[in-house]
Structure 1
Amino acid sequence: MPESPALAAPPALRTVDFDFALPERLIAQQPARPRDAARLLLVRPDGPEDRLIQDLPGLLGPGDVLVVNDTRVIPARLHARRGEAVLEILLNRAEGGGTWQALVRNARRLRPGDTLAIEGAPDLAPRVVDRLADGTVRLDFGPDQAVLAAALERAGEIPLPPYIARPEGPRPEDREDYQAIFASRPGAVAAPTASLHFTDRLLAAIEARGVRRATVTLHVGAGTFLPLRGDDPRAHRLHAEWGEVTPEAADLINAARPEGGRIIAIGTTALRLLETAAQGVEDPLRPVRPFRGLTDIFLLPGHRFRAADALLTNFHLPKSTLFMLVCAFAGTARMQAAYRHAIGEDYRFYSYGDASLLFRAEDPAP
């Protein structure tokens, strides 16, 4: 007797199945100028279509709701010393009261109670609280958030991904280039990069089409830079990130489908937050509820998406959690074909690269 679909085992997943050959020359080292001059790959069920970001308004319609992430990247990379030991600190997530979780290079040298000297910010002396099982370090910067914010602006660096080559450190223009037009709530250590393509001109054209915009917040953490290790992606754990979907944003998102519109996530961060806010909601027409807190949701093939009909996202790296996410959303075979096309047509990859517009697969199986 055939196994009931409700009882069927989830599809086997292997990290190697999400690998592909990506020429290093296609990893963008600077953004398109102007931002909306980037290319856009429209990924349809019948095959990919080459477009431009400037074509996006014509692909949207009245009643559609764009969901954008308003997180703002902070200069989260600091250089420090503990005695003779040289350290590099990448802030990850604020815990409140002046305490942050951070990734620290040479963390094995640290002990609880150690005080660190921050280069370029002598008034900042974080104390090591403890080291956590996931390898992060808890640092206490003191209760005065204004002191920390000023020190970060003075001594911190914009934490560009390691794939963007800056041997001498980030360039001055990276502080603006790596910040989205929607950025308003400080707290991220990585940009929601799909949003980097938007300009005032593009937003005006989108609004003229009768498209509305809902704003949510997900403070992207340092874990987004961590590689996926091991043969089974399900064994990977994402670092928790803080997010919020306000009641007002939830109402606007939930109005889309009843009015014949679509919910369009601008970036994987918005999509992950939407799917978090959809957990436990039974109404497919009104799929999200207000949410405020931490999420470590990991979206893999086999996940049934509930809260977005389309996704605008950049091109991601081989064997990355984000490539797995887009395969989950649009279908693995479809995305593998789309990426082969993108590589063959010299699309630019990753944070400063081009974008793709994906539509949710009817069947999420890989």
Structure 2
Amino acid sequence: MKLAMTLLASSALGLVAGAIDAQDTEMAPCENCSNELTLVSWGGSYQDSQVKAYAEPYLKLNPGVSIIWDESSAESTAKMRAMTQAGNVTWDLIDALASDNMRMCDEGLIQSVDIDQIAAPAPDGKPASEDFGELLISDCFIPQIVYSTAFGYRTDMVGDTPPSSICDIFDLQKYPGKRALEKRPINNVEWAIYCDGVPKEEIYNVLGTDEGVARAFKKLDTIKDQVVWWTAGAETPQLLADGEVVMGSTYNGRLFSAIVEQKQPIGMLWDMQAFDLDGWAIPAGVPEDRLNRVKHFLRFATDTQRLADQAQYISYGPTRKSSAPLVGFSDVLGVEMAPHMPTDPANSANVLIYDYGWWADHRDDLD
């Protein structure tokens, strides 16, 4: 619960408009640095927001440097294991989910970091460790955004009473049609056990038993014939746009893009949205020149202004407390961002907060 309150507080939106600010017109040069940087991310609108908020401004200040993007974040743990075993790690910096970061950290696949050496202080001089606070959930984790996995639905396919409860995804009679669900247990088993009558505060206790896991999968069995499984966040918005599913889960920022930018007939179901953290991880054993470039980039990309800038392009909350007051009306998109943020009070009345430790212990078995 303490982490839940921290997520809400640290990502709450301020009232000051967040116009893109060329805060850094120059940077200290990067000593003994590679001029090539391989970043691993998720593709789609989220990666686009990173390109615009971090990469393009960084490259402008560092001519001669090139960034190579790899869209393999969904498979980061498995690929890091394989590259480490082969002794050929080609990645420099990974954008990873908090739970994946914890697994890779436990396995020694990524480096522990001193956040106060990696990240710049807040504008008021507070150290980065204080500015990020309890969102520093792993010794290897450099927090970037708060996001959620939520449901979108076709407004023209749900009749006069659109879905308002997460359990509506299991109601095939009221809402006939295909559903899109991510092809992994996380989120799905929590929603299933909750909609099978388990109180939210008991979810992980029940899922910690064989009987609880069987119960969750039995609930999912009730809709499995109507499920389209997705592995990339961009799939659900496309399935919704094409009318191939009536509702589907994905990252809230992907749905934001479909609704606000593409004007698709899609509505948001925020009930039991699954709050999560996403951040940077540095692979273990990165050569010194590449590591120096990574640190140089991270100091820029994780500063107060840059994290606020990303919220100009996508509806994910920044992880620094000092960034929150800089987020408001998006000059880029021409909309107030608050109503589209997972942390907005109107959207966060009933949220699911992961037990990261539980998933770190059980993820491989359930996968």
TM-score by length of 2: 0.27
Larger % of strand: which?
1
Q: If each structure's helix is expressed as a fraction of its own residues, which one has the higher value?
A: 2
Which one has more relative contact order, counting CA pairs under 8 Å at least 6 apart? 2
